Amino acid sequence: MISEIIRERAEVVNREIERILTMKEPEGLYKATRHYLKAGGKRLRPVITILSAEALERDYRAVLPAGIAIETIHNFTLIHDDIMDEDEMRRGVKTVHTLFGVPTAILAGDTLYAEAFEILTRCDAKHENIVRAVKKLAEVCIEICEGQFMDMSFEERDDVKEDEYIEMVRKKTAMLIGISASIPAILFGEEERVERALWNYGLNAGIGFQIHDDLLDITGKEKIGKDWGSDIVEGKKTLIIIKAFERGIELKTFGKGKAERYELEEDIRRLYDCGAIEYARKKAREYIEIAKSQLKVLKDNEARRHLSELADFLVEREY
């Protein structure tokens, strides 16, 4: 089962995180910096990096630092996102800024960002390929920031369209999954068509992943380990909300900041009844099917099949 494959690879990742991302001085900064990493997580991005290397029939250990670097970038974005969203829970624990204060949380995120690029240079690859990988990861980070700004700007608008949402998700979430899949091809110097296919696999899988993540904010309740329904009360224009508004649905808790549980449950019932949730589910599946189609350029091996199964998992998971 793919869940077992993910768990096995995640254990490899966790051991490497523990080895590389150690505690340092000043202790207060590094406690904040390592807080989410110690809280766990699915480690999907570095797991994808490992599976991509295996699908290329290469030794994943040569590029494992790249997977750790990407996971480090991911955790940097979580810390800063939580500050901006004023969320109190993440991965079942208090958010970094809630525990350590906003100034320390900002520094913790900045530290992780810088550490990621140093870690990436540890890959066992040709110098020119490491330079290309650093450049690509830097470009992805720029687009992540652009995507986050788009997401913020949507909160001030009532006319956000589906294609704008998809572009925001492509930048903010999917590109990091895209590079998770394609960075082994960059580091190993694979053909451009292989690198592009793995990039497109990750990009489309990432869009499906984020749409499903938005669904979990509504359907996951306590399973998701963060504030349930936070997207609704914070006024986020997810695909579900965009489609509901197009169909003339009014949500009493949308953008309210806080809401009683019964109020949220009533609004979520409206989202089910109008078909917005089912629409989002179908869209997520469409992107996953596109992602899987990109894998045909790879040899038909076990790791390629695992990548296909992992794409399905991204829109079938319950947390």
**What is the per-residue pLDDT across 159-174, written as a single tens digit (0 to 9) for each?**
999 999 999 999 999 9
Residue range 7-20, pLDDT digits in tens: 999 999 999 999 99
> What pLDDT shows up at residue 227?
64
Residue range 124-142, pLDDT digits in tens: 999 999 999 999 999 999 9
Neighbours of 252 (CB within 10 A): 12
Residue 229 has pLDDT above 90, yes or no: no
Side chain identity at 267, as an amino acid letter? D
Longest dimension (CA), the chain: 58
Cα 169-293-190 angle, rounded to 5 deg: 90
Residue 94 tokens read as: 């208090």
HSE value, Cβ hemisphere, 13 Å, CA-based, for 279:
17
Sign (positive or negative) of CA dihedral 204, 214, 90, 310:
negative
Residue range 262-319, pLDDT digits in tens: 999 999 999 999 999 999 999 999 999 999 999 999 999 999 999 999 999 999 998 8
Sign (positive or negative) of CA dihedral 278, 204, 311, 222:
negative
Task: Report domain 2-210+299-308's class.
Answer: mainly alpha
Residue 121 to residue 178: CA distance in whole angstroms: 19
> What pLDDT shows up at residue 133?
99
Residues 102-123, mean pLDDT to the nearest whole number: 98
164: exposed, middle or buried (C-beta count within 10 Å: 0-12, 13-18, 19+)?
middle
Side chain identity at 265, as an amino acid letter? E
Residue 76 to residue 106: CA distance in whole angstroms: 9
Residue 271 to residue 156: CA distance in whole angstroms: 21
CB 219 within 8 A of CB 230: no
Residue 224 has pLDDT above 60, yes or no: no
Region for residue 221 given its phi and psi (left: phi exceeds 0; alpha: psi -120 to 50; beta: otherwise): left
Residue range 77-90, pLDDT digits in tens: 999 999 998 889 88
Task: Identify which of 142, 111, 120, 139 has the alpha carbon closest to the alpha carbon of residue 23.
Answer: 111
Give me the phi and psi of 255, to 5 degrees please. 70, 15
Residue 223 has pLDDT above 90, yes or no: no
> What pLDDT shows up at residue 222?
54
> What pLDDT shows up at residue 225?
45
Residue 99 has pLDDT above 90, yes or no: yes
For the entire predicted model, the pTM comes to: 0.95
Q: Whole-number mean pLDDT of the chain?
A: 95
